[in-house]
Structure 1
């Protein structure tokens, strides 16, 4: 019995009490009830505080309501006992057979276990990397490549239609500096002022010449434009390949320049004027964002006629909304704290409710240590630690997991030795090894001719859920039953680290089960295969399924051998 199933049982019990006249709830019976795993042993399998929540509305005291509800629940299928504790908490014990069915339900659902329609019908845009196409992706981008992708995965698991978007900062003077740097490298000239440094510029110059022979023989602005376009294409393709190799894939690569070429920015300015949220002062055009909580009004067009980034940001937001997205999520760097208020005010200025259409997540800095010192800067990139450097040094799985297991707003210091060592002290190794252990157990069962329960439904096959009656069986089953709620919570709160921490806890519960002599899955010596062995094989396959599903939400592999 999963928490969701028990919640439905409690709702049904409340409904029955109301229908019988034993309970009055003026606001009606709640659609769902919070059910949690108790922290202390001896407090049943699940606990709920529903009696405390509803007592006042029912014009009674929590203890009395708890006792009334307990008597009703004791008659429900699958519940073995209900205890009223303290001021009205209900501690509920579930029959082994009802709890054991969770294992078969997990196996039957397979890769879909943990998915829901919580956010069904919502179209969500997740923009989680915004970078100049002028160099390699760096450490800051790496954290967003992990967290943004993981957020998109948990949102999709919760039923949302998710689009992953990369915002290309391809408008501005940096693109000319980029082209001038490539030209200087090709001609053997010094790096221009405000130009880009690093061996990658020399490599780019060679790649540009190879792609367009004779391009550097052009003159003046014609050469700059041609080199800019060719260098841009090559560097952007490198960024795309880097992210693909890092298991992060984007649905949309959106060009900032395209906003201006399409006329979106003038249209946005006109819309703001029509809504009455802009004014002129000092020769500049301002948006009146202070009307919606911003600390100051924002400039859209400077006094010299130049458009600001905020004008582009506003046009970009409206473009997303015009593409049909109900909700826009932005992941921004630690130096963008001021953007939260201004983006929310901007959404309000264009007529939206930012609480419903906008999330702005601010990430903190990451420091990588090696041999006690901060990881050295990339010689190729000139002054940054690149995504490729990190992936080679640490490994994709170890790096992704280590970045995903912390909230976005937590500053991080990661030690290369710690996150790459193969020991139970390393969380990613610990979780992946638990998955590999289940695979080895299943392989051993196959060698003994045990029937693998792939696709087993709760009411099919020889699986007897009541045989999973040991205390350790129950702990593992309750952990597996918790997974859908963890995924839903991670999606609602935009916190995929909850999945990582859940996996670590579940791996610990599984290892304790594995080490318990009374819970051995395989028969010992010359013992025949018994129904209890078959039941625990179902539980093992279910555990493998949940760990693999959770790792997939983090973009981390689930190895079968380690």
Structure 2
């Protein structure tokens, strides 16, 4: 019996009570809220539904709670319902109903935890989108981990998600990149506003190898950008982050989409001309100043490309556009929301902007500057070389995006319980090991009929409750755009499994025969492995069978 089943039972019981008493059903919420009591002696779950609605229908909350308790006690799987305080209900689930969850988890397998809360929502999720002028730095790596995890979460919640990388291959930064490559090829010093690092010389050499004797800026621009972006794609692929769409900014220009966006905005009545330039009146929608789309010399601004790109996504069918931007992009939020409103959209519905905080790599409390190819910038390759892909992804997704984080190299490479990813992956490996050892003894889930009522030990019940929490955690993590909730849950699940493992033997000792309780515990062991693997999968982290 899952928390969702119990919440449904509470609401069904409430509807029955309200109908019998001729109370207004509209006063009931769409779903009943459950929580786990801090003290397990108070019950398995608690709800404040009676307190929540009693005043609305003019009745005493404790008296209403009594009627709800009587009705709820009729449901199969509910062992007892007790009234506490002014009208709380403490609910106890019988052992057989609680233990059945192990069967449900194992049988659903990878689908356990998936829901339909976002079914039908077409969502475009853009993240990383680092300029093709150098390797992905640590800030971009954070989005590669968090953005990919968020995409997996949103899909698990039922959304139709398109992941997208915006390839900014037009503009002045590309000019500076091309000039830097050409200078390197000629053996000249890096231009004052150019890009340094050994990777510039490597790319310049690769361009010369492909085009011997080339000495023109355009060749180094085209070939250099292509080579740089190929390296970025390769790095992302090795990191386990894949995109459905790689979108080139230059295509917006080539296809006339900036002109199309301008005319669409003009039709909405938000364009005006001043000082020879074309402006968008974003102040009508809360921006701190109006924005130039086309300069007096006819050149488009970056913001014009932003407008065209937003419109392109919407025209491709995205109902909600989610953009994940770095810590230096706070100033973009107001103008982008105003721009969406200028197109006639509701920024609260059609646009969502997430801002992430900074990341640093440290050892002994001191920041590391590791890159040999990119000067003092720490790159994706540096991070992976230092702690590995799994630890990198877990470490970056483990914390709220609103918090800056320091990744301690010594901690994340340690094979001890204080290393969070090791702690969780160890449970994945241990549950797999239990399964292998059980098979060697002739113990499988089919050795005897599964009797969920045998799972009565407090540590078994604690583990079952934690497994039951998983679908709710996935749903809330997707809704709140907070993948770190999955990592937090996995560490709690790992702790609950260790307590179970230390107190409840899955395998028979010595020559002792296999008992039905061993089979029941094997189901619980395998259910734990399923959820650990599912949760790690949402973070793009492996669930090893051996460590």
By the TM > 0.5 criterion, same fold? yes
Who is 1:472 aligned against? 459
Measure the CA separation in 1 of the matches of 2:84 and 2:284: 51
Q: How does 1:433-444 map to 2 (within 5 A)?
A: 433-444=426-437
The answer to whether the Cα contact below 8 Å between 1:177 and 1:195 also exists between their aligned partners in 2 is yes
Deviation at 1:28, TM superposition (A): 5.7
Deviations 1:252-305 (A, max 9, x none): 111111111111111111111111112222222221212112222222122333
Who is 2:522 aligned against? 537
Q: Of the candidates 296, 313, 316, which is equivalent to residue 320 of structure 1? A: 313
Deviation at 1:152, TM superposition (A): 0.5
367-376 or 230-239, which deviates more? 367-376
Runs of 4+ that moved beyond 3 A: 28-31
Who is 2:255 aligned against? 262
Who is 2:477 aligned against? 490
Who is 2:535 aligned against? 550
The answer to whether the Cα contact below 8 Å between 1:100 and 1:466 also exists between their aligned partners in 2 is yes
Who is 1:380 aligned against? 373
Measure the CA separation in 2 of the matches of 1:145 and 1:238: 15
Measure the CA separation in 2 of the matches of 1:187 and 1:469: 76
Who is 2:3 aligned against? 3
Deviation at 1:26, TM superposition (A): 4.5
- In the alignment, is residue 392 of structure 1 matched against residue 390 of structure 2? no
Who is 2:406 aligned against? 413
Measure the CA separation in 2 of the matches of 1:47 and 1:435: 31
Q: How does 1:34-73 map to 2 (within 5 A)?
A: 34-73=33-72
The answer to whether the Cα contact below 8 Å between 1:26 and 1:57 also exists between their aligned partners in 2 is no
Deviations 1:96-153 (A, max 9, x none): 0001111000000001110111111111111011221121111111111011111101
Deviation at 1:31, TM superposition (A): 3.5
- 5+ long unaligned stretches in structure 2: none
Q: Of the candidates 259, 271, 275, which is equivalent to residue 268 of structure 2? A: 275
26-35 or 486-495, which deviates more? 26-35
The normalised TM-score by structure 1 is 0.95
Deviation at 1:190, TM superposition (A): 2.1
Q: How does 1:16-165 map to 2 (within 5 A)?
A: 16-19=16-19, 21-22=20-21, 24-27=23-26, 29-165=28-164
Deviations 1:218-246 (A, max 9, x none): 5xxxx221221111111111100000111
Who is 2:545 aligned against? 560
Q: Structure 1 pair 304/217, CA: closer, same or farther in 2 (3 Å)? A: closer
Q: Of the candidates 348, 359, 368, which is equivalent to residue 366 of structure 1? A: 359
The answer to whether the Cα contact below 8 Å between 2:27 and 2:53 also exists between their aligned partners in 1 is no
User: RMSD of the alignment, in Å?
Assistant: 1.5
Alignment length (residue pairs): 547
- The secondary structure found in structure 2 opposite 1:529 is coil
Measure the CA separation in 1 of the matches of 2:376 and 2:296: 35
Who is 1:427 aligned against? 420
Deviations 1:483-504 (A, max 9, x none): 0010000100000000000000
The answer to whether the Cα contact below 8 Å between 1:446 and 1:452 also exists between their aligned partners in 2 is no
The normalised TM-score by structure 2 is 0.97
Measure the CA separation in 2 of the matches of 1:32 and 1:401: 33
The answer to whether the Cα contact below 8 Å between 2:112 and 2:531 also exists between their aligned partners in 1 is yes
- The secondary structure found in structure 2 opposite 1:57 is helix
- The secondary structure found in structure 2 opposite 1:253 is strand
- The secondary structure found in structure 2 opposite 1:34 is coil
- The secondary structure found in structure 2 opposite 1:66 is helix
The answer to whether the Cα contact below 8 Å between 2:28 and 2:53 also exists between their aligned partners in 1 is no
Who is 2:221 aligned against? 228
- The secondary structure found in structure 1 opposite 2:476 is helix
The answer to whether the Cα contact below 8 Å between 2:208 and 2:214 also exists between their aligned partners in 1 is no
47-56 or 499-508, which deviates more? 47-56
Who is 1:346 aligned against? 339
Deviation at 1:23, TM superposition (A): 5.1
Measure the CA separation in 2 of the matches of 1:290 and 1:103: 56
Measure the CA separation in 1 of the matches of 2:328 and 2:220: 31
Q: How does 1:504-515 map to 2 (within 5 A)?
A: 504-515=491-502
- The secondary structure found in structure 1 opposite 2:352 is strand
The answer to whether the Cα contact below 8 Å between 1:25 and 1:58 also exists between their aligned partners in 2 is yes
The answer to whether the Cα contact below 8 Å between 1:136 and 1:381 also exists between their aligned partners in 2 is yes
- The secondary structure found in structure 1 opposite 2:90 is strand
Measure the CA separation in 2 of the matches of 1:110 and 1:60: 45
The answer to whether the Cα contact below 8 Å between 1:277 and 1:349 also exists between their aligned partners in 2 is yes
Deviation at 1:374, TM superposition (A): 0.8
- The secondary structure found in structure 1 opposite 2:57 is coil
The answer to whether the Cα contact below 8 Å between 2:398 and 2:487 also exists between their aligned partners in 1 is yes
Measure the CA separation in 2 of the matches of 1:323 and 1:481: 38
434-443 or 478-487, which deviates more? 434-443
Q: Structure 1 pair 510/483, CA: closer, same or farther in 2 (3 Å)? A: same
Deviations 1:418-444 (A, max 9, x none): 122111111111111111111111111
Deviation at 1:357, TM superposition (A): 1.1
- The secondary structure found in structure 2 opposite 1:126 is strand
Measure the CA separation in 2 of the matches of 1:23 and 1:533: 50
Deviations 1:502-552 (A, max 9, x none): 000111111111111xx2111111111111100000000000000000001
Q: Structure 1 pair 24/490, CA: closer, same or farther in 2 (3 Å)? A: same
344-353 or 305-314, which deviates more? 305-314
Deviation at 1:372, TM superposition (A): 3.0
Who is 1:524 aligned against? 509
